Amino acid sequence: MYGNKNKDSSTQPTSGKNPNRVTGGIKGQGVDHIVMVSEDGLENQVPTHKYVQSLEEQLRKLRATISVLERKVSRTDTAITNLQTRRINHD
């Protein structure tokens, strides 16, 4: 009655969350770093592991986007060059 109920899969969190939302949520809660105080009273701010992971995920996605755009620019440059050489040959 109380213990063996199956949870609906739609209510369980997914691991494929948008890293922008994760990063924004962490920043919004003010937990993007941990402050460690040493014995002599110096404070060291250390970013949280989850925050660093979300930034790394953002970097991976941005690098992938950049590489796709670089390939498109390269193809466009090649197409323009081919069109210019055809135009010169036909004139």
Greater pLDDT, 87 or 10: 87
> For the segment 58-73, what is each residue's pLDDT rounded down to a tens digit?
999 999 999 999 999 9
Six-digit token string for 13: 């969190």
Instruction: Tell me the per-residue pLDDT of 1-34, one tens digit each, with 9 for 90 and over.
Output: 566 655 555 555 555 666 555 555 545 555 677 7
pLDDT for the residue 66: 98
pLDDT for the residue 83: 95
Beta-bridge mates of residue 43: 37
pLDDT digits (tens, 9 = 90+) for 35-44: 788 888 888 8
Backbone φ and ψ of 43, nearest 5°: -100, 130
Q: Positive or negative, the Cα torsion across 50, 58, 43, 25? A: negative
How many CA atoms, within 13 angstroms, populate the side-chain half-sphere of residue 23? 11
Answering whether pTM is above 0.75, one says no
Cα dihedral 83→84→85→89 (10° resolution): 100
Amino acid in position 80: I
